[in-house]
Structure 1
Amino acid sequence: MAAEGDFLTRYRAVSNKLKKRFLRKPNVAEASEQFGQLAKELKQQDCLPYAAFCNLAMARCEQTLFNAPGEALALTDAARLFLQAEQEQRQLQAPGFDEHLQAALNCYSFAVKVYIEMNQPVMAASLCLELGNALKEMNKPGEAIIHFQRASELQTQMPIESLLSQWEVASCKILTRDYDGALAVLSEMQLACHERAPLLPGTNTPVGAFTDLMAKCEISRVLLLMLLEPPPQKLLPEHAQTLERYAWESFDSHSQVNFLPENVFLLLQSVVMACQEKDIESLKYLQTELWPLLSADHNHLLHLVLQERISPSGQGV
């Protein structure tokens, strides 16, 4: 493995080539290539932070050459190397000050900026999602929210992808126990899906990818309302309408929620009644019945609803 001194010697040797000399222009393209080669060698030797610094130097060279694609690529490589170094440090449970993570955040931010200036919002959004997912996996959902939100804003020309990024925002808000915030995001998502979803000819039955998102949002919203238990005077009209659909006295309620399988709808209806009746045993039974039918996110919410009934914490709106 190359020693730190060897890395610094080679790094300085390449950097010296960029210094202006009398009657001679520095060969920036050659320096960029050499920084890139040094980065590859250091990565192979698992010297990730040093490799990242070489990629940063390469990005500066590409910026000088007005090569925006090369600059964005080098910045992305640096970001991923810093992130990998942070992840490895965490796996080893080594003490640190998140310095590699901070460096990764800065590199991702600059790369996103370059892609936006190049009018490539899709590439910028993909980096925001990549960073958001990494932060979420590091148990930093609160910090991930802003990156998922940014991704959604950059995906305005791709409505499904934009809504999926919003779903991640809601998921992170649930993980940070901002249940009101999650409910607000999911309600906006469901409205957007309802407005965009195509209908089967001659019916009011929605079809397509928007329908799947409507179903995901509906289940989460019902469970969040059971978790929050807002008093009637604080219940927003759209949330009151949602709960009305699950009231037993409602006539043919499933026709209003025809984007949900009937068995899931009926079980959710039972969950709402069990919560209103504070019937914990029925809730436990319903959890068992719903478990294989729901996603991991939904099962997490249902678990929270049950835990709240068993040992109330005073959570409310």
Structure 2
Amino acid sequence: MSHLIDSYRLISSKLKKKKFPMRKPNYSEAIDQYAQIMNSFKREGNLMYAAFCCLSIGRCEQAIKNASSAEASCYIDSGYLMWESELRSYEDDFISFEENVTEAINCYLLAIKIYQNYKRFSIMGTLFFELASILKRLNKYEEAAEYFHKASEIMRTESPITAINALKEATKCKILECDYKGACDLLDGMVAIATESIQQDKRTAQVLANQVEQHQLQQQYHSYPLSASSSLSLSLYPYALIEARVSLILLYILQDNFLKSQSHLGKLVNDITEHEGQSSDLTEESIALLNNLLMACERKETNGLQAIQRELWSSLSDVQNDILQKIWCANKMLL
């Protein structure tokens, strides 16, 4: 191991020395040397030094060609190796000062900045999402929620369903942090994206219908099919809308904001009616139970809450059931 470290330091010192002021260092040669040492570090399980080598390669790429995709890839690989090193310590219950976390985040942000210059928004969104997912695994929920939210903002135009998924993950982090107001704000964002996307799909469908009507030919219809993404969104956006709406109802009940909860309950009924058959597995009985839950909590009639919880359990997601359990625990204290 020590000889590899010495080799790494030797290459770095050569790049810093300037024997000839007008002559640039041989960065291409240094890249090959760093790559060889990096692979040796990986084989020996020293991920941090492998990450340092990868970061050095990125700096060499920067010196050769400013802000290239090769440079960005090196930063991503370096950050990923740092994450792997940190996660190993975390999963093995080793004491860690988490100094690698900040370095790994910085590596990802450097790569994102490069892709921003190239306007590669899909890659930027993916990197923010990956960054947030790892932070969530490390139980850093506040930071994870921030980067999930950034991923959603970037992907909102290019892939609304991906943006909704990122907001969904951010909401989970907010709930784990007991930041229920922040979770509601994110869910409102999910509702807005889903509603806009549903309206866009309706306009697209109407345009296609008009084209079919104008041409009066069945073959012409096949020339203007709905895209795969549009067909997919027609089934997913209503589902996402209603899932977010149910979560909002439960979170507002948990915060004793019964007026807002009642408002979303009314909107939920309208949404289910409008998108009947393609939006949710919620039944009329489930809606009635949500209403009973709302009224029971508002009136502080806690005796029947456990029965309502049992009846609702199978209709809700895991996160929603966690909120429901928090509602039960909060009201149980009133007994």
TM-score range, shorter chain: 0.7 to 0.9
1:208 matched to 2:235: yes
Equivalent runs, 1:123-134 vs 2, <5 Å: 123-134=123-134
RMSD value, Cα: 2.7
Q: Distance in 1 between matches of 2:38 and 2:312?
A: 51
Tell me if the contact between 2:59 and 2:71 (Cα under 8 Å) persists in the aligned partners: yes
Q: Distance in 2 between matches of 1:116 and 1:253?
A: 37
- Tell me which residue corresponds to 1:82: 82
Q: Distance in 1 between matches of 2:235 and 2:76?
A: 34
Tell me if the contact between 2:256 and 2:298 (Cα under 8 Å) persists in the aligned partners: no
Q: Distance in 2 between matches of 1:45 and 1:126?
A: 30
Q: 1:24 to 1:185 in 2, by over 3 A?
A: closer
If each structure's helix is expressed as a fraction of its own residues, which one has the higher value?
A: 2
Q: Distance in 1 between matches of 2:192 and 2:41?
A: 50
- Tell me which residue corresponds to 1:152: 152
- Tell me which residue corresponds to 2:173: 172
1:94 shift after superposition: 2.7
Provide the secondary structure at the position in 2 that maps to 1:97: coil
Q: Distance in 2 between matches of 1:137 and 1:288?
A: 30
Tell me if the contact between 1:76 and 1:107 (Cα under 8 Å) persists in the aligned partners: yes
Provide the secondary structure at the position in 2 that maps to 1:208: helix
- Tell me which residue corresponds to 2:273: 255
Q: What whole-Å deviation, never above 9, does each CA across 1:262-282 have from its counterpart, x for those lacking one?
A: 243333233223323434343
- Tell me which residue corresponds to 1:315: none
- Tell me which residue corresponds to 1:299: 321
Q: 1:207 to 1:24 in 2, by over 3 A?
A: closer
1:138 shift after superposition: 1.3
- Tell me which residue corresponds to 2:56: 57
Query: TM-score, normalization: structure 1?
Result: 0.84
- Tell me which residue corresponds to 2:288: 266
Equivalent runs, 1:174-189 vs 2, <5 Å: 174-189=175-190
- Tell me which residue corresponds to 1:108: 108
- Tell me which residue corresponds to 2:191: 190
Q: Distance in 2 between matches of 1:30 and 1:244?
A: 67
Q: What whole-Å deviation, never above 9, does each CA across 1:149-208 have from its counterpart, x for those lacking one?
A: 211122132211112212222222211111112112212321332232145989xxx942
Q: Structure 2: where are the runs of 5+ without partners?
A: 210-232
1:119 shift after superposition: 1.8
Question: % of aligned pairs identical?
Answer: 31
Q: Distance in 1 between matches of 2:193 and 2:130?
A: 25
Q: Distance in 2 between matches of 1:254 and 1:147?
A: 31
Q: What whole-Å deviation, never above 9, does each CA across 1:262-306 have from its counterpart, x for those lacking one?
A: 243333233223323434343222322332332211111111111
Tell me if the contact between 1:42 and 1:48 (Cα under 8 Å) persists in the aligned partners: yes
Tell me if the contact between 2:242 and 2:272 (Cα under 8 Å) persists in the aligned partners: no
Q: Distance in 1 between matches of 2:37 and 2:245?
A: 52
Q: Distance in 1 between matches of 2:257 and 2:109?
A: 39
Q: 1:31 to 1:297 in 2, by over 3 A?
A: same
Q: 1:253 to 1:172 in 2, by over 3 A?
A: closer
Q: Distance in 2 between matches of 1:158 and 1:207?
A: 13
Q: Distance in 2 between matches of 1:240 and 1:284?
A: 21
Tell me if the contact between 2:194 and 2:238 (Cα under 8 Å) persists in the aligned partners: yes
Query: TM-score, normalization: structure 2?
Result: 0.80
Q: Structure 1: where are the runs of 5+ without partners?
A: 313-317
1:8 shift after superposition: 2.2
Provide the secondary structure at the position in 1 that maps to 2:93: coil
1:225 matched to 2:252: yes
Q: Distance in 2 between matches of 1:290 and 1:240?
A: 17
Q: 1:245 to 1:273 in 2, by over 3 A?
A: farther
Q: 1:70 to 1:254 in 2, by over 3 A?
A: closer
Given candidates 272, 285, 288, the residue that maps to 2:310 is: 288
- Tell me which residue corresponds to 1:278: 300
Provide the secondary structure at the position in 2 that maps to 1:300: helix
The amino acid across from 1:227 in the alignment is L
Q: 1:25 to 1:181 in 2, by over 3 A?
A: closer
Q: Distance in 1 between matches of 2:312 and 2:43?
A: 48
